[in-house]
Every structure is written in C-alpha cells, then in structure tokens.
Structure 1
C-alpha cells in the first residue's frame, strides 16, 4: 500500500482510496477504510462538513458518467436475455458471452453508489428476470469486496450472481411470468430452477464447481428451511451463502409483476427479524452494516408525512436509524415504534 497523505476535501478526486474511516458528528461511519472515492462520495462528505480526508498517495483517476454506466447495463441486460432465451430453446450456454458480461459489469460499476443507484432505477417489470441476475452479480461482487476476498474469489462471486437463476430458462413462461402468487404446485415447479440451473452448467469446463454449487444451493438456508435439499450450516457452499443474501435483497427491493418493491429499510428489518438464523450471520451482518451506512445523509419521508435526513445507523437496530427532521428535531426510530421510513428520496 502506498503512503498516506491528508488532503482538503476539495482536492479529493474520483479514484482515490480512503486510508481511514470517516465519521460524522453523530459517530456514524460515512466512508469505510479502503473505499474508492467517487463524485457522489466527495459531495456527501462536503455536505457533512468534512474538511480533511486521509487517502493513499497512489490512485487511478476515474472518469465516467452515469449515462455511460447505464448504457453498459442496458447492453448487458439485452445480451443476457439472448443467452437465457438460447438456453430455453436447447442451445448450450455461451460462456464467452457470460465472461464478457461479468468483465464489463465489474469494469463499469466500481462504487457502491453506482450499484445502489442502479438498483433503485425503475426498470420494466417484464425485464426483471434478466436485470435481477445482473443486479445480484453486482451485489455479490460488492459483498466479496466487503469481506476482503481475493480478486479471483470476487470474480467467482460475480459469475455466481449472474448465473444463479439460469435454471429459470427451463420454467414454463406461464409460471415464471404469472401476474400473481403461485399455487402450491406452481411453486414446486418454480423451485426446480436451482436443479435445472445446475444441470445446464454441469460438464461445462469453463464453469467452476464453486459456481455450480452456488447455482444449486442459493435457496438453501442455515436452519435447513431452504431447498432443494434442506441443507444446513457448513453443508452449504460459501458462494451460495453470499449469493442468497444478494438475491433476497434485490428481489425485495425490485418491482415484480405481482408485488411492489419494498424500501431498503423494510428489507433490513426483515433480514434482522427473520434471516439471522436463515443466512450466514457473519456475511449478513457485514452486508447490512456496510450497505446501511451508504444511506447516512439520505433524505427520507416518514410514515407521519414528515421529512428528514438519516444521520446515524445503530448497528444493533440497522433498520431503525436516527433521523434529523426538517425542524432540527432528532428522532430515533428504534424508540418510535409507530414511525417508519416510507420512502428514501
């Protein structure tokens, strides 16, 4: 690692790597150590009155705009749609196209802001199957970074996320695209997608066993309540455990044909109340802590119609942040049981 230098916030450039945690006046972590700065993060720090930032001296300048990132994303959605439809009519998986999608996604989306902003974008509901796979790939890579994994492991996670639902290419469209809840028999058919996905990848020398196991096991749960085998704990692939968290988060925060998206804080609450025993606790808590800290500084609308800004995330109640209202009053949502976040603006 290169030498550390202290810069005025106005001297900070996209591509610089932060060398220590940056904390606001409430004690909340605004930016974690080793974060790569982008325009969004620099502006966020300026808005919080941060004047000095410690960064590593060496850095690679980042020059791109949101439009370029969006264009790449839409291109990759269309390419992945072609891959899925080809498999649906019996063609083999085009691994070169898959590699290209993963490489270009990782080259284009290099910060949490780019990924979260993309997740929040309104996309065509009938494109969900394809955009969801790209989103899970991006989230898997992000989690891998937060867990301190090697570049090779993060790349494997990107493939796991992209391919995790590939078996849905074998699910009848009337079930996959049904505009309402599935019947018990339809749900049993849908659950077969993880096995179908494994069979699609089986024998492909370009696909590692880790990726195949993630595709097969991403619906398994730590307590044995998942499928297709009801596996528990260390019987579940590590890559499947990461993929499972990314899968659930994107699914719950996306519009579906039969269900509106939930706010990220609704999903955080669900994770805290229902999933600490279903998902790997270490991976889940790392994910919740890091992704929630991104929202510090975000403006929100509360269920009583008031507006405010998130100023602190309590790590013991991530879904219930502390809000500074427009009139400067401070509200701790963990103490105000009737009040909740209706919208992140």
Structure 2
C-alpha cells in the first residue's frame, strides 16, 4: 500500500514510525526526513517536545507490518490443543453423572497441560475469543477460564505451586452446575427468582464436592466457593467483601467474566473483547478487584497491539495504540489511513479478527 502520512503530537510517537518531513523546532533541524523512529528517539522527543507536531508514516516493511502476526501453523496447533484439553475436561465432568467426585488425576493432567504449553499468549487469547456456537461455550468455558486465570497468576509472579492450585480451582469453578437441572441452566428466556437462586447454589455445591477429595488443598475448594463474591458485597453465596474473598476466587471472577462476555450464551450474545475489557474496567470501580483488573487490562491491551480488527463499515485495520480510558476505540491503521477511533462518532470496532 502507499505510505499514508499523518500529523501527530510527539507524545504519540511510536517505534517503527518514519519521519516524512524534516522535524524542525526553533529553526533547528532535530530529525531528518526518512529517519525511522527508535524507542530511544521516541522517548527523547516525547520528553523534550511533547506538544510538537511531526509528520510520520508506517512503511510497509516497518515493525508494524510484521508485529505479532500469527502463523497458520500456530493457530492450528492452538486449535488442536484446545480440542484435546476440552475433550478431557468433558470426560472429567461427565464422571459426575455416576460419581460424586471428579477424577483428580484428570484434573492434575489438565493442569499440567495448561501450565506447560508453549503456545504464545496472544494465540491463546485469540483462540479463546473466537466466535463459537452455544454448545462450544459449555465445553470450553472451564478451559478458557483456567487459561485466563493462569495468565493473571503469571502476570502476578505466582510460584509454580500457586499456579497449579489456581489452575485446579479455575478448571473446577463451575463443577457444581453438574448438580443443577439442565432445564434451568440452559433456559433460553429469563430465569424466575427461584430458578436464579437454584443456579446460584452451584458455587456451594462445587465446594461440597471438592472438600471431600483427599489431599486436595483447601484453597481450591474455597476459591470455587467464592468465585461469585464481589468487592462491594453484592456477590454470593455470603455477600462478603474485599480482603475476605479468596485471592484465587478474585482472579477466577475476572477470567470467568471476560470469557462469558466474549462468548455467545443461551440468553445473551457476545461482545467484542475490547468492549469486554471496558466493562471489566468499569466493574473495577465496584465489584471486581481494582488492582487485578488493572493488571489484566494492561496486559491484555499489550497483547492486542498489532492485532487486526473489523470495523463497522466493513473495512479492516490494525491496532497500533490503545488507551485505557477508551479501550474499544484505539488508534488504528487501515490500507487508506490512520484512524483515531476515539474521535470518530460513526465508526467502531466490531471484532478482533
């Protein structure tokens, strides 16, 4: 494509941009035309002349054009991985139709697979948020929640033991639903108050199942019990607040929420991952742990830089800069131009592609 020039303040300079016109301040030429911006140059200009305007473009062979591109082989590997672990998870939960406890060896094996896979984080996230049918949500939700929870644990610097226990709890967080009538769980319309109260029992039912497993660390069952508790006391089953909630439970709450929002369900259609991050940001002011939400959002935004998106007008583009205050409206580049979506009233991102 033809290189598209855009005029931006120095504060928005990014590595990989190329100066299209000599950058002159007070009659002093600071950058020559066609100089590629390094991170060091960007930092220096931002620090010294944050409001100065520069004319820049991204060349076709710049960092942007090669930044975080998924290969077809990587996506196929990820899909095979998800199919395998989802099948194992399905067998694990099916056991509860005839037994009152899950096969702990299956849980250990699943956890090991999740913790040792070398599939890149961005590929995992892309696979998690791919549009799927309703049946796939039921099969994949526990796996997706566990992967997201482990990512948060790693971003927190958790030890191998804590990551393992967190993965156990996330894999099993909805195990209590196996004891609830499917007609209620998959009811297409609104639940009655009594039906909703039945669904809310799943965290307690899961706790009762897990506390009977010999030698299983108590933190796993407690996290399952508390993954629907909320910072302001509006959650269940006990309505406890803040530091009284299990740390694993807080992490699972964020992972569970993100996966639910980005998946099609019986009673609600999915929203885009970026819109889901905005909703989690808003929840951080009331119901979800603010520090964990900030960590999750910051790292997810980093993973989405360089991703292709589909716009509401049918065009496609690439994310090149994001702002936590307008996550769903980043700065993007298309075949035609740079677009700052936060300044566009009529254009928005439909999905990550």
Which TM-score applies when normalising by structure 1?
Answer: 0.78
CA distance in structure 2 between the partners assigned to 1:123 and 1:49 by the alignment:
28
**Equivalent in the alignment of 2:251:** 242
Alignment partner of 1:342 is 2:342: no
CA distance 1:156–1:110, shift in 2 (3 Å): farther
Count matched residues: 294
**Equivalent in the alignment of 1:148:** 157
**Equivalent in the alignment of 2:147:** 138
CA distance in structure 2 between the partners assigned to 1:221 and 1:173 by the alignment:
26
Runs in 1 of length 4+ with deviation above 4 angstroms? none
CA distance 1:338–1:46, shift in 2 (3 Å): closer
CA distance in structure 1 between the partners assigned to 2:187 and 2:144 by the alignment:
22
**Equivalent in the alignment of 1:220:** 229
Assess if the C-alpha contact under 8 Å between 1:253 and 1:262 holds in 2.
Answer: yes
Correspondence for 1:330 among 321, 339, 347: 339
**Equivalent in the alignment of 1:128:** 137
Correspondence for 1:84 among 84, 90, 93: 93
Highest Rg: 1 or 2?
A: 2
Q: Give unpaired runs (5+ residues) of structure 1.
A: 1-22, 30-44, 52-63
Correspondence for 1:118 among 117, 127, 147: 127
Assess if the C-alpha contact under 8 Å between 2:16 and 2:63 holds in 1.
Answer: no
**Equivalent in the alignment of 1:24:** 15
> Within 5 A, what are the aligned runs for 1:288-299?
288-299=297-308
Q: Cα offset for 1:155?
A: 1.5
CA distance 1:330–1:256, shift in 2 (3 Å): same
Q: Cα offset for 1:204?
A: 1.6
Assess if the C-alpha contact under 8 Å between 1:72 and 1:105 holds in 2.
Answer: no
> Within 5 A, what are the aligned runs for 1:202-217?
202-217=211-226
Alignment partner of 1:277 is 2:286: yes
CA distance in structure 2 between the partners assigned to 1:230 and 1:97 by the alignment:
32
Correspondence for 1:191 among 186, 200, 214: 200
RMSD over equivalenced CA pairs, Å: 2.5
**Equivalent in the alignment of 1:48:** 64
Q: Could you give the per-residue CA deviations for residues 34-88 of structure 1, whole angstroms, max 9, x where no partner exists?
A: xxxxxxxxxxx9742789xxxxxxxxxxxx8543443332222222222212213
Range 307-316 or range 335-344, more displaced: 335-344
CA distance in structure 2 between the partners assigned to 1:319 and 1:65 by the alignment:
26
Q: Give unpaired runs (5+ residues) of structure 2.
A: 1-13, 18-36, 40-60, 68-72
CA distance 1:108–1:235, shift in 2 (3 Å): same
Assess if the C-alpha contact under 8 Å between 2:308 and 2:316 holds in 1.
Answer: yes
Alignment partner of 1:98 is 2:107: yes
Which TM-score applies when normalising by structure 2?
Answer: 0.76
Assess if the C-alpha contact under 8 Å between 1:192 and 1:228 holds in 2.
Answer: yes
Q: Cα offset for 1:286?
A: 0.5
CA distance in structure 2 between the partners assigned to 1:239 and 1:266 by the alignment:
24
Assess if the C-alpha contact under 8 Å between 2:341 and 2:347 holds in 1.
Answer: no
**Equivalent in the alignment of 1:107:** 116
Q: Cα offset for 1:344?
A: 1.7
CA distance in structure 2 between the partners assigned to 1:268 and 1:338 by the alignment:
21
